[in-house]
Amino acid sequence: MKKKILSVLLCIMVVAGSLAGCSNNGGNSGNSEGTATKPAENTSAGSAAFSYTLPGKYMNWLQDLNYWEDMQKLSGVSVELVNGGENDDSYYQNIDLAVGSGKLTDALIVKQSQAAVYQAQGAFMDLKELINEYAPNIKAYIDANPDYASMITSTDGAIYGLAAQNPLYNNLTFYRSDMFEAAGITALPTTIDEFTDVLRKLKAYYGNETGYYPWVGRDSYLHYAENFGCIDYIDDQGKVHGIYNSSLGNGTGYDIYADGFRDMIEWYHTLYTEGLIDQEWVSGTSTEEDWQTKYLTGKGTICDDYFTRPTWFMSNAADNPDYKIEVMDLFKTNSGEAAHRYQKLVNTDRYLVIPEGNKNAVTVIKFLDWLFSKEGQEVMHYGIDGINTKKNADGTYEWIADFAVEAVKPVGEENIGIYQDRLTFPYPVDNQSYYESLDARVQSYCIDYFNKYSSYAKQIVYSEEQAEQRSNLMAKYQTQFNSEVLSFVKGETPINDDTWAKFLGNMENAGYSKINEVDQAAYDAMSK
Amino acid sequence: MDRKDTFGQNIKKEIKNCGLLWLMLIPGLLVLVLFKIAPLLGLAISFENYSSFKGIFGSEFVGLENFKTILTDPYTWIVAKNTILLAFWTLVVSFPIPIVFALILEEVCFSKFKKFVQSVSFFPYFISVAVAVSILSSFVSPSDGIVNIILVKLGFGSINFMAEAAWFRPLYVLLHVWQNFGYSAIVYIAAIRGIDPTFYEASQMDGANRWQKMKFITLPCLIPMMITMFIINLGSILSVDINKVLLMQNPSTYSTSDVLQTYVYRMAFGSTGFPQYSLGTALSLIQSVIAFILVIATNAFSKKVSENGAF
């Protein structure tokens, strides 16, 4: 009998255990999935509070920001940060699940497409009324910046979110000046042809035996499209050229019908066959770590990459006293004209939205309005007076903290964070303060470089239908484009009139013109 | 009325006699219903323009639109061909290897060595796909991989295996075999050990050698298990390992490595668009229907030809 009772109890326990996972009480009530942090403990932040979901790494940045507590006190609002996922892909998928379950925090970061679609479906609030009533600073900014307004407003006039902005920066070309000197290169290249000659000289000097390539890099290898005149762009008449991607150099934004596009592919073929460019990188089998190792160990001399990377390499090669990196100017086009690089003003992956019917919506919008106010912008751009910067009598700021020291502090350690907080909340960007916050070495080359060669590109937002159509087309176009271009570059397909015509035909079949039409229609709709 | 009473009485009798057994079955049944059968209702989203916010019942019903999108897209057939070829070679190569391995291993007399080999062959199964691909990449690296070092020593040129479209399928299959053959062999080793020893004793008396015992006793006795395993494998023929493919894939290998799953993944979770869960579900449903038909047909064929089947 005892055995029987024991067996019955065991079965009940197993059933209960099986169902335990089905309970909906496992997460934070009222929050999306993730771990939450306490809002500012100091009650002087005021009784107003809201919860905010954002990707984990940005949450860490905010928590490490040395004026995060002060920000909350000054604004009078406490913010409970909620970790919505550690990497971007999982974060946005978690947001979809959270939207489905209805468990959303008072504010959250989403992609532009999620903001626009879910707002139209009724999941997120139209912020227009709230802004008109409670956010004079935001309203003034939107009214004064029609380009920004067009990026956050739907065709029926609803404001579906507030977008974070990017400072103006681009990739730039840097080189190991000590290796240039050793190879006897004294003049820096100013055109693609001169650049090719420099690569050949380096190759001749350093050889091929040790896996040396003059030009090494990461991610997409098709750089310098601006020098060949085959970059994607929107002309003054509003015509979209190429697959529009705001020319960020990630392998999608090219005008394949531009004369220079074939020249560019032929140039890359030359670089590949002569071993002037890292062949593993071009083939897509090289990782970021491989690139870093090559550049740190002298198996590469030139990179075209993120503008703070020279400092990173210099810091990591501190044990090599000869290791020196300098920056070269952006090459002119082969016809002698100045080239240009572009950046997106609005970060389409960072829209702050408020769920429909949220009781703390006014608190959220008031906090955001403070970020757009004079006081809020001063804090966001220069930190706290006396801690991050010293405000001079003439209104200028002097940085107290050293970027080079702050940038290498590990997660969990308090730092100035100016250069990171731009991804955490939407507020007006200020390039001057951004550049000034960087270390002296980066400042010495980047301010002049960006002033000369960088601009904000026109941006496009898509309707739900356009986004779906474009996404489907890009899924096959991008793969075929990468595959066929690489085949030319590696020499697997010879470049001649017949193969080029076939390539263009294949790109058409893959949807090139259809994508361009979607881009054009979306831009036209925004321009109305 | 009598019949109902009889049924009720039967239930009572069943509960009285086997109530505890039924109680023990409940957890398993619950898991089956909650986690295997109930989620099948989610397939409904393949007929909708699904939105997480609107849910299954609120999303717009689009009928067969998603299936039409997939089946009328010419690129679908390119990636379908890649998928089938990858699955075909995986099945053809990886299916017989565990059988041969089990047969050879069971012929080894030194039991400690036998156990050691079996354990070693089993280990790769527990290595994550990411680590396995990293190991493979290191082995075939064009600069310092052991394979290329040997090739160069033998007078051949170095090959960037991971960047050659023609090498994608062989490497994928090789990795699959390496990771799974030890684990798959367990089933056959167990089946071999379950063969009635009197068969071998009788053949011994008839003067059969080890080869003849393997050929005329072990192999025929393994056939039902082989058929069952073949049918199970066939059921997942269109389900290539997307994690492995994504880790091994690069622009150099797109022409052979782009498969249905990667294509739909890009469509469903494209970085610029809104997530399209419905398309992914529609493709999964198509794959499941094809796999189901294949399994049923193979089972029927097997029963007709050899009188053996999985069910």
Amino acid at B82: N
Tokens of A353: 């939205």
Residue A492 DSSP one-character state:
S
pLDDT range class, residue A32, cuts 50, 70, 90: very low
Each residue of A333-360: pLDDT tens digit?
877 888 889 888 898 889 999 999 999 9
CB contact under 8 A, A7 and B160: no
CA–CA separation, B75 and A507 (whole Å): 12
Q: Which domain holds residue B213?
A: 64-306
> Rounded to the nearest 5°, which phi and psi values hold at B16?
-65, -45
Q: Measure in Å the smallest separation between the Cα of A258 and chain B Cα atoms.
A: 23
Sheet with strand A346-353: strands edge to edge: A77-83, A48-54, A107-110, A346-353, A162-165
pLDDT given at position A419: 58
Residue (of B36, B86, B95, B47) closest to B261 by Cα position: B86
Both A403 and A473 in one domain: the answer is: no
- Is the CB of B162 inside 8 Å of chain A's CB atoms? yes
Total domain count, chain B:
2
Residues A388 and A311 in one domain: no
Residue B233 φ/ψ, nearest 5 degrees: -65, -35
CATH number of the domain within which B299 lies:
1.10.3720.10
B74 contacts on A by Cβ (under 8 Å): 509
Domain count, chain A: 2
Residue A410 corresponds to which amino acid?
P
Domain termination site, one of A429, A445, A474: A429
In the structure encoding, which two tokens stand for residue A336, read together? 């002698």
One domain, residues A196 and A113: no
Q: Is the pLDDT of residue A196 over 90?
A: yes
Which chain B residue's Cα is nearest to A3? Answer: B20
Q: Considering A385, A408, A429, which residue would you say is the last residue of a domain?
A: A429
Within-domain flag for B265: yes
- Alpha-carbon distances of A291 from A279, A331, B29, rounded to whole Å: 12, 23, 53
The answer to whether the Cβ–Cβ distance between B266 and A474 falls below 8 Å is: yes
Closest-CA residue of chain B to A208: B143
Q: Is residue B121 domain-resident?
A: yes
How close B126 comes to chain A (CA, Å)?
24
Distance CA A230, CA B97 (A): 52
- The pLDDT tens digits along chain B (311 residues) read 455 568 888 888 888 888 888 888 999 999 999 998 988 888 999 999 888 888 899 999 999 999 998 888 888 888 999 999 999 999 999 999 999 999 999 888 888 888 899 889 988 999 999 999 999 999 998 878 899 999 988 988 888 899 999 999 999 999 999 999 998 899 999 999 999 999 999 998 999 898 899 989 999 999 888 888 888 888 777 778 889 999 999 989 999 999 988 888 887 776 666 778 888 889 888 888 888 888 888 888 878 777 766 67
- CB of A501 less than 8 A from some CB of B: no
- Tokens matching residue A58: 């940005």
CA–CA dist A444, B239 (Å, integer):
54
Which chain B residues are closer than 8 Å to A92 by Cβ?
A: 275
- B186 plus B216 within the same structural domain: yes
Report the C-alpha gap between A196 and B175 in whole angstroms. Answer: 40
Residue B154 lies in a domain: yes
Check whether residue A221 and residue A308 sit in a common domain. Answer: yes
B251 in reach of chain A (CB within 8 A): yes
Strand A341-343 relative to strand A454-456: parallel, antiparallel, unpaired?
Answer: parallel
Q: How far is CA B182 from CA A52, B93, B112, B120, B250, in A?
A: 49, 14, 17, 8, 29
Pairwise CA distance, residues A169 & A454, whole Å: 7
Across-strand partners of A153? A159
- Chain A: closest CA distance from residue B163 (Å): 6
Substitution target from B36, B68, B271, B281 for chain A, most A beta carbons within 10 A: B271
Across all residues in chain B, what is the average pLDDT? 88
**How many Cβ atoms are within 10 Å of A138's Cβ, its own excluded?**
25
Alpha carbon distance A433, A422 (integer Å): 12
B132 CA: distance to closest CA in chain A (Å)? 16
Residue of A nearest to B280 (CA): A472
From the list A56, A106, A146, A35, the residue with the least C-alpha distance to A358 is: A106
Q: Are residues B206 and B105 in the same domain?
A: yes
Q: How many angstroms separate the most distant Cα atoms in chain B?
A: 89
Cβ-defined contact of B52 to A211 (cutoff 8 Å):
no
Give the residue numbers spanning the domain of A195.
171-343+460-527
- Asked if B255's CB is within 8 angstroms of A483's CB, the reply is yes
Give CA–CA dist B130/B176, Å, rounded: 13
CATH code, domain with A480:
3.40.190.10
Cβ-Cβ contacts under 8 Å, B142 against chain A? 280
Residue A435, in any domain of the structure: no
For residues A427-452, one letter each, b for 16 or more C-beta atoms within 10 angstroms of the residue's C-beta and e for the rest, the string is bbbbbebbbbbbbeebeebbbebbee
Partner-chain contact A11 B27, CB within 8 Å: yes
Q: How far apart are CA B237 and CA B82, in angstroms?
A: 12
**Under 8 Å between Cβ of A309 and A303:** yes
Closest C-alpha to A245, from A522, A526, A525, A527 = A522
In a domain, residue A32? The reply is: no
Q: Which of A7, A284, A464 shows the shortest C-beta gap to B163?
A: A284
Top residue of A290, A459, A471, A515 to mutate, by most chain B CBs within 10 Å, is A471
| pLDDT tens digits along B150-184 | 998 898 888 889 999 999 999 999 999 999 999 88
CA torsion through residues A421, A427, A433, A435, sign: positive
Residues 6 or more apart from A191 whose CB is under 8 A from it?
A227, A331, A332, A333, A334, A336
Supply the DSSP string of B144-174, one letter for each residue.
Answer: T-HHHHHHHHTTPPP--GGG-HHHHHHHHHH
| Closest to A266 (Cα-Cα) out of A493, A108, A419 | A493
Q: Nearest C-alpha of chain A: how many angstroms from B167?
A: 13
Binary contact (A123, B275; C-beta < 8 A) = no
Q: Does B232 touch chain A (CB under 8 A)?
A: no
